[in-house]
Structure 1
């Protein structure tokens, strides 16, 4: 089989394909129009001097330009670094610095997000590789870097050089949680993206004449991108929300006979809350969901009773989303659990006992390890982290705890370690702690996750340096530097952290900190 069979462009060569390929805010985009957009974008990238190995940061909401940039970058041999639109200055600066992006394509404005103000918080010396900005929706925005308009294709650009068959080089970088300040960058190639997209289309038995997707997850994350590419591979129509809102999602599900949707439990909860109809979505076949909030089992039962079929699933940036999903024949209690059956017939899942280090038998919990065609290339510019994450025989150490069922499926149980799931994203405490410690009045900080009014929020404990900082001042500082979901709900001043002595040294008792946070919040509302 030729390398071209594993290029992103190959996903558009589906013989039986629905038209339009996409619908954005009611505007259809045919497959032919999309392919013209790719060639146009590739020519534009080449005119900007972007070629083999160059990194382009994409800071856009869900729009046709986002997808065209990914396919065009692959055409040019370039790499797309996906930037979360909820990121703020410290996070954007870290991604740009780590990726070495030469060009950033950004929104001019979107709802309440002031992209120019966020960029203004980044000094040029923090991101020395960045040479210019390309703006969607405006000629320029106030910034330290030269600006060009991305979507001004009214002039002719020479066609991009012929596509290269470098399908095993990085083409897309996702961000993922790290143990120190800032996320790591997960590198995927055209081959890993394409083979997994094809596996998703086959495993879900997608038929372009029958099936369609409501894409309501951000393209900057693997959950949104994987589901999108799976339906592109199947030739099925994708209806896209630029950013999730329950009311537009409800309208699209109802009016366009959508059969598939993927999202968080909270997304589906909000959609159901907007309609009193007993069975509002008769055409829905599969709603893959990630359980991030308390009460997800009760939600799943209500959704089932109202004809909204929720399916548990599993994935990560490293092995891609929709790595596994439950099957319709599974009992309801099993179907809503995280995990499921791998999409790829070539995927292998095993569980390792975290105490003995030996492979665990079925029904015994341990760390999930995965080998699959969807596995990432490695952490970009971080060979040490890559080496630590991959076993000698090529399995990815997920850092997740689960168990095998013995029938080819598995169950995801919880996240190992201290990573927190906030706002639907996995966040390392160290990222928030480092931002707190960068403030002059903070000597040290620890951050833990707690259940607050039915939502997972983080709480910070701070050891002050000299003059104790005010909680309001610290929170204002964090709001300028981090996405809102990472800002602690409470910040408590303490003289010291609870610790315990072990054979490996003194360790902070994070479980005790979580208990302290819960106790203090309970006392406040009592």
Structure 2
């Protein structure tokens, strides 16, 4: 990619190649066919009144419409807000309100997800900018907003003038906040396309030799970055609409897949289905969210499924760095690794002294790189707080430098990693506090039977609802991985006095939760 052409379109190129760019559910889509779909989608968006600066929320599983909408929005100077398919009404409402989305593109139905019921729980007054829903797939969604069909591929819309300002926001990811609801991380075409090219070059991807199994959701940076990197390389991408181990295993075996990326749990489920080796796999980048990941990596290695530790975030994009085949095994599987971009800089700041830390000394990881985000959308104060005076992003992650690489150790602060996503306790706590009978709530993460789950402690106000009633309320409002495994009633939270005021002792709450669970009848 030329330095002066940092558009998403440049990743595809202008040639109408017949080689497959993607394979969706066994159906190939060539680069030429995809370019035509982008043109059709651009005209469709313009016909819906979408133009420069307008936000389109995309609430879809992995399908060609998702990618076409992103590339088409880029051509119009519009912005895509990526919606996690596991979100429920409170989360969707927050994202729509914060982004100011005019249009929401949504599935009619997908497996157990009842999109219509979730939308019915959103008050129109909470999302005043939303003007229209567009439904992908068969079926209709009865809703309080005008509803149209996404028919860009079936109907001809008049072509529209396009402009490619590669430094405007084009994609918004959600990331955990410290209060209710996530912040929106804004990326431009330049940050996305430049990093995609860095990934293709760093992994030395070849269109002839390499193929990706895309089993992560496009709505998150992990899924999107790996997708864009392989588009930049001209390699074929085999797409799962949503992860399931059996279809993933089938594609791995039948299509000579060389690369795939996912959580440790995804790879654990794939390995559990077969004793056969994986002779074609070269790189399986994994994020370690569960206990026992080192043992998993050793088992996977013996089976020809080579796991590589990596690092990323919504703010600096996924695949920011990865282990190298030349690393010793123990180093290769650690989180962190070697930055993909030769222009990336990583340093570590001692959290006690505020000085830059020497190699091997743990502190907060700070990053400057072409993949770095523009800022938090409509949140200038949070954006200012996120950067150092010389422009490095404060990751909020703890790690240490190791030669030219670095090691990720843990997340600073109280954010929890649940279901593979970073979650702020305040988001769940605020939902609990909105329930009648709950005066206050605190949520902590624990290891429950090998899985990261959250546990809530509530202080009652009057008559507290039964735990089942509270849990049912949360299931309607939040993604399943955010629903506490246990809800315990307490008279007060353990606290400690500090120079900055009284602080709740989350470590003590975690210990109490583990004691209570250990005392439960087996």
Q: Which category describes the TM-score, using the shorter chain as reference length?
A: over 0.9
Separation of aligned partners in 2, 1:242 and 1:446: 35
1:297 equivalent in alignment to 2:294: yes
Q: Return 239-248 or 466-475, whichever deviates more.
A: 466-475
Q: Is 1:498 aligned to 2:494, yes or no?
A: yes
What is the distance in 1 between the residues matched to 2:199 and 2:241?
A: 23
Q: Does 1:337 align with 2:334?
A: yes
Query: Which residue in the other structure is 1:263 paired with?
Result: 262
TM (norm. structure 1) is: 0.98
Distance 1:164 1:14 in 2: 16
| Alignment of 1:125 onto 2:125 | yes
Alignment partners' CA distance in 1, 2:189 and 2:210:
25
CA displacement at 1:48 relative to structure 2: 0.5
Structure 1 residues 367 and 15 mapped into 2: Cα distance closer, same or farther (>3 Å)? Answer: farther
Counterpart CA distance in 2 for 1:34 and 1:349 is 36
Other-structure match for 1:98 = 98
CA distance in 2, matches of 1:276, 1:286: 19
Compared with structure 1, are the counterparts of its residues 97 and 16 closer, same or farther at alpha carbon in structure 2 (3 Å cutoff)? Answer: closer
Deviations 1:244-287 (A, max 9, x none): 0000000000000000000000000000110022x2x1010000
Please state whether the residue corresponding to 1:5 is helix, strand or coil.
coil
SS at match of 2:492: coil
Which residue number corresponds to residue 466 of structure 1? 462
What is the deviation of 1:75? Answer: 0.5
* Corresponding residue number in structure 2 for 1:373: 370
The equivalent residue for 1:324 is 321
Mapped to 1, the partners of 2:151 and 2:391 lie a distance apart of 42
Q: Is 1:484 aligned to 2:483, yes or no?
A: no
Q: Which ranges of 4 or more aligned residues in structure 1 deviate by more than 4 Å?
A: 1-4, 14-18
Q: After TM superposition, give the deviation of residue 24 of structure 1 in Å.
A: 0.2
Q: Distance in 1 between matches of 2:152 and 2:312?
A: 37
Question: Is the CA contact 2:399–2:408 (under 8 Å) kept in the aligned structure 1?
Answer: yes
Partners of 2:413 and 2:154 in 1: CA distance: 52
Change (3 A) 1:37 1:505: same
- In the aligned structure 2, how far is the partner of 1:201 from the partner of 1:417? 33
Cα displacement (A) at 1:157: 1.1
What residue is the counterpart of 1:211 in the other structure? 210
Alpha-carbon distance change, 125 to 220 in structure 1, aligned in 2, over 3 angstroms: same
Aligned to 1:164: 163
One of 454, 457, 464 as aligned partner of 2:453: 457
Matched residues in 2 for 1:24 and 1:451: separation?
36
SS at match of 1:21: strand
- The Cα shift of 1:160 comes to 1.9
| Contact 1:14/1:234, CA 8 A, preserved across alignment | no
Kindly report which structure 2 residues correspond to 1:99-498, keeping only aligned pairs within 5 A, or say none: 99-138=99-138, 140-151=140-151, 153-161=153-161, 163-277=162-276, 279=277, 281-405=278-402, 407-498=403-494
Distance, in Å, in 2 between the alignment partners of 1:201 and 1:17 is 19
Task: Note the C-alpha offset of 1:165.
Answer: 3.3
Partner Cα distance (1:65, 1:72) in 2: 10
User: 2: distance between equivalents of 1:456 and 1:470?
Assistant: 24
Matching of residues 52-91 of structure 1 within 5 Å: 52-91=52-91
Over residues 170-221 of structure 1, what are the superposed CA-to-partner deviations in whole Å (9 max), with x where a residue is unaligned? Answer: 0000000000000000000000000000000000000000000000000000
1:458 positional shift: 0.1
- Structure 1 contact 216–224 (Cα < 8 Å) conserved: yes
Query: 1:270, 1:52 → 2: CA distance?
Result: 43
Counterparts of 1:323 and 1:517, CA distance in 2: 35
- CA–CA distance in 1 between the matches of 2:55 and 2:492? 43
Say what the alpha-carbon RMSD is for the aligned residues: 1.3
Contact 2:74/2:164 (8 A) holds in 1: no
Q: Gaps (5+ residues) in structure 1?
A: none
Q: Cα–Cα, structure 1 residues 525 and 160, in superposed 2: closer, same or farther, change >3 Å?
A: farther
1:166 Cα deviation from its structure 2 partner: 1.2
Given that 1:139 and 1:147 are in contact with CA atoms closer than 8 Å, whether structure 2 keeps it comes out as no
- Secondary structure at 2:315's aligned position in 1? coil
- 1:152, CA displacement in angstroms? 5.3
The answer on whether the counterparts of 1:18 and 1:237 sit within 8 Å (CA) in structure 2 is no
